[in-house]
Structure 1
Amino acid sequence: MRTSQTFSISFIIRKKKKQPESAILYARITVNGKSLEISLKRTIPIDKWNPVASKLTGNSSESRLINKKIDETKAQLYKTHDSLVKEGLLVTTQTVKARFLGSDQQHYTLIYLIHYHKEKMGKVLKYGTMKNYTTTENYLKDFLKAQYNTSDIYLKQIDYQFTLGFESFLRGLPRLQNNGVMKHMERFKKLMRLAEDLDWIEKNPTKRFKLRFDQVDMVYLSKAELQKIKEKEFKRSTHNINRDIFVFCCYTGLPYGDVKELKKKHIQIGVDGNKWIYTRRIKTNTMLRIPLLEEAERILEKYQDHPKVCSSDILLPVYSNQKTNQYLREITKAVKINKELSFHAARHTFATTVTLANGVPIETVSKLLGHTKLSTTQIYARVIDSKISSDMDSLRIKLNNKN
């Protein structure tokens, strides 16, 4: 970790091979012990060079012009260094040289890329997705400050070592688990891929980085647990309302954002003459066509006279995501279900307990959930397989006991 920076300028000469009495003048810049030379494209007589003073001796017009060039170059290099520091850019010998020669004008920075992405994708991606990108942006800024003592960096300076360093930095944060780290690395890779597509970088340094997500246990309700929640009557109306909306999603597979935006126009008569939900997933814009099961239709009828429903176009009085999950924790505690339920568990319950476990083909379940790939739905099928395996183990024990 770097907390301070050293910067110095000196001038040297290098003899010309074909003219040993003459030399080329160079400015040598040194940043944190690393040096780089810039040719000033001036030929000077070796016998007049004073290496201690870094000047030409004498008072000839040639000496005065060369010494003036040295002073101007030195002043310009210090000014270049100061401007990079002021802009919050990473100061290296390469960035100082590029800025001094004026060749850095076409090189973009990481923060500029982030702002470009925010400007172009802000109206395309969902609010929650952009919020996650902002969190990744803040972590990148923290990493730049901690590791490089700067607030920005040229894209051409980001290499594979930087990528691994950012991952290591994220893993050092106490509040992030592996999948959280991988999500931020995934967004960083997408940003660098955008830079590659825009031809802002020649080579994508994150291309070789492999995302490694841990398999997460899927939380869903069994048939008995779902029944317990359905039958329980709570003293607080907020708990009853929240429970009903959760159960509604257990029988429709809708995630939180989609049920919150569900409106009266989304209920239509399907090809079978029954009520269907016709809507689009907020996350993927995929078309959803979901026949209403009796349990779900009963809940809609229950709340059709609710003040919030009557005074607007919504179908259900959905609370905020934070409140919804808070009430769910209180509900599961009240019915003594030892599972950490979030609202998304309703979608998992629909896929497993309500549909697949009752013989609905996986292709149909995939369409009901709005999945674009069958492989996404097959995760739920594996859960069902594990349940079957568990049930068969119990059966074997019972049979062995009888024998």
Structure 2
Amino acid sequence: MKLLYVVRKAKAKRTGLAPLYARLQMKGQKTVEFSTGIFILPKQWDPHGNGHIKGNDRLTDVYNHKLTEIRAEVISIHSDLERRGKRCTPSIVKSLYTGELKERATLIQAMTGYIQHRAREPELSRSTISNFGRQMKNVQRFLANRKDMKILCSEVNVRTLAKLDEYLRTEMKFKQVYCNRIIGFVKTVMDYAVLQEWIEFNSLNSYKYRRAERKKKVYLTQDELQRLIDHKFASWRLGQVAELFIFQCFTGLSYAELMHFDRSWIGVGVDTQEWIFADRQKVHGAQCEIPLFATAKNLLIKWNYKVPELDNQQYNRYLKEVAFLVGIDKHLTTHVGRKTFGNILQENGVSIESISGMYGHADTRMTRSYYVDVSAVKVAKETEAIRNL
């Protein structure tokens, strides 16, 4: 590895002083530079030998001494990495010298760095970043419980994840599906650590997730939805909540999309009829394209195309009362309305591909896994003609 000093004349100040940079080179590796923090007049630099600043004053002596110290420390880092058989590149040596990388970074440092990195992505929603933060806090609780807050990324292995999984299930009482999500977060963070050259490889790639119990999809049948539509609520507030839920059942919009609904989303579709063209709030660049069904349109007309605003927690709380009054023995949430949309469409012969497109999903796997079920009604309709076999 070579260390050269170069004067960056292009970055000179009005006074004529230009920054002096250290340049690290290694055959077959990308060259990197970092600032020495020294500013000199370009004519003061003598590039011969290892390079030094010309002059007899005290400041020049201080600067030349600093350059000698930088060279000595860089050589020391390089030699230490080679002695221990660690991967050594100009980028790694620079990161260790500048402090951008605390060599053998801790898992907590890696998680913090990963979240900060993802937070700079404009297409990522705040809720996603918040989810990362909650997952990190749960990992920190586990590490604090083990009194191992300074565990290094290089020390994290599949046994660590197995113990994390056990802690989350037994101490935190989380369901396996959420435990797997947190473990997936840790594995992703370790991939990020590899990209940052903090570790050489991700030792967690061989980890096998515990099988999560498949959660039964909850949605309304056509009969239950019709009972909800026909019910007359004595309470104005509960009637409004029911209407919001019915609107979701006929549009498939999520709570976030429902609260951001704007009349400008309604346009003319390929069939010259009115459609809803809604940008997904959760996925940047994804769009839902949904025919505007009569029930949904009638509600929009009633609301003068301004969807009533309601806090998510209040909405879900009121839905419990709505279900009780209508006689629906299911735990209703805003997401149940979204799932009802897809399942009722499927029962009426709409293909899974079309339903997936209306949800704004990239492919049908998400739709099949979490939203649409194969209902007995669909099976009955499709086997009716061959019942006498």
Question: If the length of structure 1 is used for normalisation, what is the TM-score?
Answer: 0.65
Check conservation: 1:245, 1:318, Cα contact below 8 A: no
TM-superposed CA distance for 1:272, in Å, is: 2.8
From 149, 152, 155, give the equivalent of 1:151: 149
Matches within 5 A, 1:203-352: 203-211=201-209, 212-285=211-284, 286-304=286-304, 315-352=306-343
| Matched position secondary structure for 2:283 | coil
**Matches of 1:369 and 1:225, distance apart in 2:** 22
1:99-148: CA deviation from partner (whole Å, max 9, x where unpaired): 9xx9x94221112112212211124332222222222211211111211x
TM-superposed CA distance for 1:235, in Å, is: 2.1
**Matches of 1:336 and 1:392, distance apart in 2:** 30
From 342, 356, 359, give the equivalent of 2:349: 359
Check conservation: 1:246, 1:343, Cα contact below 8 A: yes
Partner of 2:7: none
**Matches of 2:378 and 2:212, distance apart in 1:** 26
TM-superposed CA distance for 1:385, in Å, is: 4.5
Partner of 1:118: 115
Partner of 1:73: none
1:318-375: CA deviation from partner (whole Å, max 9, x where unpaired): 311111111111100111111111111111111111x111111222111111111122
Moved more, 106-115 or 216-225: 106-115
The one-letter code matched in structure 2 to 1:281 is R
**Matches of 1:238 and 1:381, distance apart in 2:** 28
Partner of 2:67: none
Check conservation: 2:194, 2:200, Cα contact below 8 A: yes
TM-superposed CA distance for 1:388, in Å, is: 4.3
**Matches of 1:363 and 1:156, distance apart in 2:** 44
**Matches of 1:379 and 1:162, distance apart in 2:** 29
Matches within 5 A, 1:130-169: 130-147=129-146, 149-169=147-167
Check conservation: 1:269, 1:276, Cα contact below 8 A: yes
Identity rate of aligned residues, in percent?
26
**Matches of 1:174 and 1:105, distance apart in 2:** 31
Q: Which runs of 5+ in 1 are unaligned?
A: 1-98, 310-314
Check conservation: 2:342, 2:372, Cα contact below 8 A: no
Partner of 1:22: none
| Matched position secondary structure for 2:223 | helix
Task: Name the CA shift for 1:293/1:382 in 2 (closer, same or farther; >3 Å).
Answer: closer
1:253-279: CA deviation from partner (whole Å, max 9, x where unpaired): 111111111112212222333221112
| Matched position secondary structure for 1:268 | strand
From 343, 347, 359, give the equivalent of 1:369: 359
Larger radius of gyration: 1
Q: Which runs of 5+ in 2 are unaligned?
A: 1-95
**Matches of 2:287 and 2:224, distance apart in 1:** 30
